[in-house]
């Protein structure tokens, strides 16, 4: 089974500072990896995804992530945090189902707090 681990359940940064949210994966096959964001009382919104086309993936709202096979990592970064980035962030890996299709296996999430 594939899995992801998110280090740091809570991260706090100052507005304008670098955002770094960590995600490590475990997979026996080349993974498909995703970052989702969840605002309070809302569903999940896709930020970006890795599909093996390029190791540096750019997403929405200025976020990007780099796939590093040697480190089994897919960390999410943003050069300059904005107050509106405060939310919970989930890393996920796509895993095939026996009947076809795929499911997402999520990490436990990282709550990002942005301070003035």
Partner 1 sequence: ETGVTQSPTHLIKTRGQQVTLRCSSQSGHNTVSWYQQALGQGPQFIFQYYREEENGRGNFPPRFSGLQFPNYSSELNVNALELDDSALYLCASSSGQVPYNEQFFGPGTRLTVL
Based on its alpha-carbon atoms, the radius of gyration of the chain, rounded to whole angstroms, reads 14
Which residue from 69, 80, 112, 110 is spatially nearest to 92, judged by alpha carbons?
Answer: 110
Q: What is the DSSP string of 58-76?
A: E-GGG-EEEEETTTTEEEE
Select 84 or 102, whichever has its Cβ closest to partner 1.
102
Q: Give dist(CA 46, CA 57) in Å, integer.
A: 13
Q: Between residue 35 and residue 54, which ones bind partner 1 under the rule CB under 8 A?
A: 36, 41-46, 49, 51
Select 100 or 116, whichever has its Cβ closest to partner 1.
100
Q: Give dist(CA 84, CA 114) in Å, integer.
A: 8
Least distance in angstroms from the C-beta of 28 to partner 1: 14
Write the interaction track for partner 1 spanning residues 86-105; mark x where CB under 8 A is met and - where it is not: ----x-x-xxxxxxxxxxxx
Residue 32 touching partner 1 (CB under 8 A): yes
Residue 28 touching partner 1 (CB under 8 A): no
Name the site residues for partner 1 (rule: CB under 8 A): 32, 34, 36, 41-46, 49, 51, 90, 92, 94-109
């Amino acid at each position: 089974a594939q899995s992801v681990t998110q280090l740091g359940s809570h991260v706090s940064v100052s507005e304008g500072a670098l955002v770094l949210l960590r995600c490590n994966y475990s997979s026996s096959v080349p993974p498909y990896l995703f970052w989702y964001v969840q605002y309070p009382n809302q569903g999940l919104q896709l930020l970006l995804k890795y599909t093996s086309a390029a190791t540096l993936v750019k997403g929405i709202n200025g976020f990007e992530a780099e796939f590093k096979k040697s480190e089994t990592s897919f960390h999410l970064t943003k050069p300059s945090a904005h107050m509106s980035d405060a939310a919970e962030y989930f890393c996920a890996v796509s895993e095939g189902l026996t009947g076809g299709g795929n499911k997402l296996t999520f990490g436990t999430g990282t709550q990002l707090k942005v301070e003035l």
